[in-house]
C-alpha cells in the first residue's frame, strides 16, 4: 500500500521555531529514542516553541508540528515524560481532525520505533527522527544552513521525506513556521 502523501512546495523558505542549540552540536547518532530514567531540571532560560494548531491533543507535547499545504498538517506528538512505561510517540499526517496516516496505531511500545539523529554537515545542521513502516521510511527533519557561496539559496529543509526500499518517493515541505522540539528526543 502506498502512503498517502502529496508534494507541497513552499514559495518562501520554511522557518523553524526551536530551542537555542549548544555551541557545538552533538555527534550524529542513529539510535532509538531512549527512555529517560530521570527527568533533568529545566533551565529557566529554555523557552517552549510556539505550538501551532495540529494533530496533537492538549495532553501531548508537539515534538514537531507544521502546516504542510493543501490543508494538511504534519505532527510528531508524544508524552512530555519519556520515562517508561507511559512514554509514547505518534506520527500523524493529513487534514486536521482526520489524519490519513497515524503511526503507530497503538502507543504501546512506540518509543523504540522512532530513531533520533543530530546531523551536522558543512553548511547545514539540524535534527531528524525517522521510523520504518513496512518498506517505507519516513524522516521528519528540521535542517537549516547557509547554502553554498554563489548558489544564493539557503540550505534549509523542514518537513518529511519518504523513501520506499531506499528510493525517495515523496517530499513534503512545511509551509510557514514549524514548531521543532526534536532535540528533546535525543538519547540522554
d(Cα 48, Cα 12) in Å, to the nearest integer?
Answer: 24
**Would 12 be classed as within a structural domain?**
no
Task: Say if 9 falls within a structural domain.
Answer: no
Confidence of residue 131 (pLDDT cuts 50, 70, 90): very high
Q: pLDDT confidence of 15, banded at 50, 70, 90?
A: very low
Distance from C-alpha of 10 to C-alpha of 51, rounded to nearest angstrom:
20
Residue 177 · residue 13 · CB < 8 Å: no
pLDDT, one tens digit per residue, over 139-175 is: 999 988 766 666 655 667 899 999 999 999 999 999 9
Answer whether residue 153 is part of any domain: yes
Task: Determine the pLDDT at residue 53.
Answer: 66
Residue 131 lies in a domain: yes
Is 44 exposed, middle or buried (CB count within 10 Å of its CB: 0-12, 13-18, 19+)? exposed
Number of domains in the chain: 1
What the block records as the C-alpha cell of 56 is 496533537
Domain that holds residue 114: 29-34+49-185
Residue-level pLDDT at 155: 63
Does residue 23 lie in a domain region?
no
**pLDDT tens-digit profile of 53-80?**
699 998 899 999 999 988 999 999 999 9
Q: Looking at the domain assignment, is residue 177 inside a domain?
A: yes
Nearest of 93, 79, 103, 99 to residue 174 by alpha carbon: 93
Residue 19 lies in a domain: no
Q: Does the global pTM surpass 0.75?
A: no
For 161, the grid coordinates are 521525506
Decide if pLDDT at 183 tops 90.
yes
Which residue from 99, 96, 183 is spatially nearest to 140, judged by alpha carbons?
183
Question: What is the bridge-based pairing of β-strands 175-180 and 15-18?
Answer: parallel
Q: Is residue 112 part of a domain?
A: yes
Amino acid at each position: 500500500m502506498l502512503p498517502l502523501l502529496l508534494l507541497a512546495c513552499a514559495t518562501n523558505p520554511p522557518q523553524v521555531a526551536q530551542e537555542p542549540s549548544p555551541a557545538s552540536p552533538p555527534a550524529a547518532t542513529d539510535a532509538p529514542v531512549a527512555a529517560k530514567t530521570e527527568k533533568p531540571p529545566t533551565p529557566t532560560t529554555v523557552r517552549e516553541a510556539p505550538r501551532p494548531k495540529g494533530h496533537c491533543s492538549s495532553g501531548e507535547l508537539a515534538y514537531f508540528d507544521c502546516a504542510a499545504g493543501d490543508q494538511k498538517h504534519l505532527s510528531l506528538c508524544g508524552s512530555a515524560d519519556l520515562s517508561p512505561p507511559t512514554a509514547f510517540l505518534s506520527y500523524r499526517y493529513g487534514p486536521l481532525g482526520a489524519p490519513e496516516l497515524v503511526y503507530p496505531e497503538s502507543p504501546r511500545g512506540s518509543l523504540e520505533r522512532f530513531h533520533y539523529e543530530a546531523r551536522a554537515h558543512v553548511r547545514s545542521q539540524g535534527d531528524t527522527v525517522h521510523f520504518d513502516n513496512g518498506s517505507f521510511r519516513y524522516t521528519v527533519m528540521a535542517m537549516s544552513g547557509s547554502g553554498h557561496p554563489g548558489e544564493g539559496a539557503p540550505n534549509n529543509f523542514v518537513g518529511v521525506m519518504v523513501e520506499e526500499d531506499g528510493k525517495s518517493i515523496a517530499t513534503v515541505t512545511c509551509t510557514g513556521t514549524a514548531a521543532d522540539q526534536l532535540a528533546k528526543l535525543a538519547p540522554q
